Structure 1
């Protein structure tokens, strides 16, 4: 899925501009990307969209040579379960 971006988030709306999904993050004072929220509308759950959102933030971190601090429980679990894949971006 291709996500839109803006205001420290990646997101996708449906054709009626209803929010399908989003991930919110911010860059803290030390330059780390902090993932603080992941959301997927109930109608779209179970399709791996939240994992795609986390992966998009990982891509951003790699592009900008930054580390990630996941405080969102979903993102934290995903990154920790797959720590060998994400060791380069874990803060």
Structure 2
């Protein structure tokens, strides 16, 4: 079962996904201001590809934004494509 954790230093942060305690990928972000963050990179380790981990990372970021009344600027090409495909994410789009 994959597990996702979040790290944040007040300027930048990342969501990290682990499979059986092994690093499987991450989605990094930078704070644009107190109410918006920019998702700038999403990557999954090759051996974990094809399992939907990148989508799980994006959805974790969306859940975090919703819970904290934040908006997302999706600059990462993968994240932008998820937002383009899933109109249900529009509520957190900056």
Q: Which category describes the TM-score, using the shorter chain as reference length?
A: 0.7 to 0.9
Matched with 2:84 is 80
TM (normalized to structure 2)?
0.84
Matched with 1:2 is 3
1:22: how far off? 0.4
TM (normalized to structure 1)?
0.87
Contact 2:3 2:19 in 1 (8 A): no
**CA distance in structure 2 between the partners assigned to 1:13 and 1:56 by the alignment:** 13
22-31 or 57-66, which deviates more: 22-31
1:42: how far off? 0.4
Task: For residues 26-55 of structure 1, give each alpha carbon's deviation from its aligned partner in whole angstroms, at most 9, with x where no partner exists.
Answer: 221362111000010000000100000000
Please say if 1:11 is aligned against 2:16. yes
Where do 5+ consecutive residues of structure 2 fail to align? none
1:87: how far off? 1.4
Structure with greater strand share of residues? 2
1:2: how far off? 1.8
**CA distance in structure 2 between the partners assigned to 1:55 and 1:87 by the alignment:** 12
The alignment yields a C-alpha RMSD, in angstroms, of 1.7
Equivalent residue pairs, number: 89
